[in-house]
Amino acid sequence: MEVGEPQKMLYPQDTTETEGAEVLAAVFSPLVRYDENKQPVEEAAESITTTDSKVWTIKLKSYTWHDGTPVKAEDYARAWNFAALQDNAMSSSYFFGRVDGYTDVHPGEGKTPTAKEMKGLKVVDDTTLEVTLSAPFSQFKTMLGYTAFYPLPASAIGSDGKLSPAYGEKPIGQGLFKLDKPYKKGTDPTIELSVYDKFPGKKPAGWTKLQFKVYTSSETAWNDLQAENLDIHDSLPATAISTAKQVLGDRYFDEPDASIGYIGVPLKYNKEFENVDVRKAISMAIDRKTISDTVFSGTRSPADDFINPAIPGYRQGACTACTYNPAEAKKLYESANGPKTIELGYNADGGHKEWIEAVANNLRANLGIEVTPKPFEKFQGILDALDAKEYKGLFRMGWSIDYPAAENYLTPIFGTGAIGTGSNYGGYSNKEFDELVAKGDQATDAAEGLKLYQQADDILIKELPYIPVYFYRSNFGHSTKVKNVKLNLLNQINWADVEKA
């Protein structure tokens, strides 16, 4: 299968991007998966129960690590405490912000943790973990299918208290596949795995070996798929979509997807974009419909909200500044004295060149400014630049959900707590937004919670910390050598269902 190079080594709690997560999803089994109604159903968990949405009891099924030893509740507590501890700087730390005691281990920039473990995690026995949140959160179970919540074996952490490099190259999981050899990031062209014999869940019929092929060009992967040198490509480039149906026939798929494509704004790191009118003008200067219809051959739709239509909470037409209005855009941009030159960064390994150039042309023509697209060879390159808070240009960004909830379009991308080590690459911070999301989290009534999330969404629509451009669809295909290839809600392959053709 095609995959881009993971940003980091294969540490579950330090992987918040799609490429590494795709690999780790084969190596680990999550506590929950999601059914066709986007509801969480137990996978590695035997049960997940609560009476008040604040104290949760997780009972585990009998899984074993790939070295044959049993997976225990302490393995989850170890992983979650490690992820949360500020000193470890794990990119998924903010996912544990609701656990009681998080602020003790992660007090924030410039402050020193007063504890190394969260008091909200209690190992009751080998198969029972009790989680106490700092406040009720009805959606906690829904979160548990995400990469951050995988367990860690004791061997993952070295004597220095850090994750061992050897583990990052060959992580031991408890999922369907085990790595056959260490993966040397940056040099190895493939990641080799085989089915773990003792995996207790469903296994694929008739095949045991899985190979991820690491590409720096989606177009090259598309050529390999057509030549039958690649079996599965799950993110076809824009240049392939118009002909993919003709080339692949019923081996091509165009399905609804819960992801969003944005133009990201380095709000905290570049004062040229500080004036909201500059951001609104840029948004109104983008012809989303033409980009969706022409560049993506109708397989995208213009974004008009920060919540995708696939998830409850979306409101059609909510983002009025997402409506194409070049005359008003120019007037607003000139009035706000927007920058005369803009750089537009994107990763060249993900098939983004065409739509980024279309946006650049829109901004040049409609705002009368100079716009320079800047390709980064790999997704890792632009993520590293954003993590380091050193990239000052607008940037291409996308969001694939970690779990099916409106809240997942808010906290991880725009929450203040996600600035330091999370996915808030623009550094956006708004106290009212944070408070509304927190109130939504604590609502005991789902409809009331959604209403509060939408109020937080209204703040994003008003302030445009990012500029939504399109809602994705999943465009993927496979060779004649395999069949029954399906994507799950997180855009990952259901490997146990794949068959040899």
Mean pLDDT lowest among 114-123, 214-223, 361-370: 214-223
Average pLDDT over residues 37-62: 95
Average pLDDT over residues 469-486: 95
Measure Cα distances from 144 to 196, 308, 343, 416 in Å: 23, 21, 38, 22
The pLDDT of residue 23 is above 90: yes
Convert the pLDDT of each residue in 366-395 to its tens digit: 999 999 999 998 888 888 888 888 889 999
pLDDT given for residue 349 in this prediction: 79
DSSP state for residue 283 in the 8-state scheme:
H
What percent of the chain stands above pLDDT 70? 100
Convert the pLDDT of each residue in 164-175 to its tens digit: 999 999 999 999
- For residue 65, what are the contacts with CB-CB under 8 A and spacing of at least 6? 71, 153, 172, 173, 174
**Residues making up the chain, counted from first to last:** 501
User: What strands, in cross-sheet order, belong to the sheet with 2-4?
Assistant: 2-4, 209-215, 190-195, 177-179
pLDDT given for residue 379 in this prediction: 84
For residues 476 and 299, the answer to whether their CB atoms sit within 8 Å is no
**Residue 276 in tokens:** 């909201």
Q: Return the amino acid letter for 209.
A: K
Average per-residue pLDDT for the chain? 94
Better pLDDT: 400 or 226? 226
Better pLDDT: 344 or 348? 344
Beta bridge partners of 255: 474
Better pLDDT: 188 or 109? 188
206, 151, 130, 129: which is closest to 27 by C-alpha? 151
pLDDT given for residue 251 in this prediction: 97
pLDDT band at 85 (very low <50, low <70, confident <90, very high): very high
103, 99, 89: which is closest to 122 by C-alpha? 99
pLDDT band at 423 (very low <50, low <70, confident <90, very high): confident
Question: Domains plus CATH for the chain?
Answer: 30-155 (3.90.76.10), 256-473 (3.10.105.10)
pLDDT band at 491 (very low <50, low <70, confident <90, very high): confident
What percent of the chain stands above pLDDT 90? 84
pLDDT given for residue 489 in this prediction: 85
Better pLDDT: 421 or 474? 474
300, 295, 302, 398: which is closest to 353 by C-alpha? 295
Query: Token match 């379009």: residue?
Result: 409
pLDDT band at 446 (very low <50, low <70, confident <90, very high): confident
Average pLDDT over residues 8-22: 94
Pairing assessment for the beta strands 341-347 and 394-399 based on DSSP bridges: parallel
pLDDT given for residue 444 in this prediction: 79
pLDDT band at 101 (very low <50, low <70, confident <90, very high): very high
Beta bridge partners of 341: 370
**How many other β-carbons are positioned within 10 Å of the β-carbon of residue 57?**
15
Average pLDDT over residues 109-131: 96
The pLDDT of residue 189 is above 90: yes
Rounded CA-CA distance 181/170 in Å is: 7
Average pLDDT over residues 343-360: 91
Average pLDDT over residues 469-497: 94
Average pLDDT over residues 83-100: 94
Average pLDDT over residues 135-141: 90
pLDDT given for residue 193 in this prediction: 98
pLDDT given for residue 192 in this prediction: 98
Convert the pLDDT of each residue in 28-42 to its tens digit: 999 999 998 889 999
pLDDT given for residue 389 in this prediction: 82
pLDDT given for residue 417 in this prediction: 86
24, 61, 72: which is closest to 495 by C-alpha? 24
Rounded CA-CA distance 15/134 in Å is: 25
pLDDT given for residue 239 in this prediction: 86
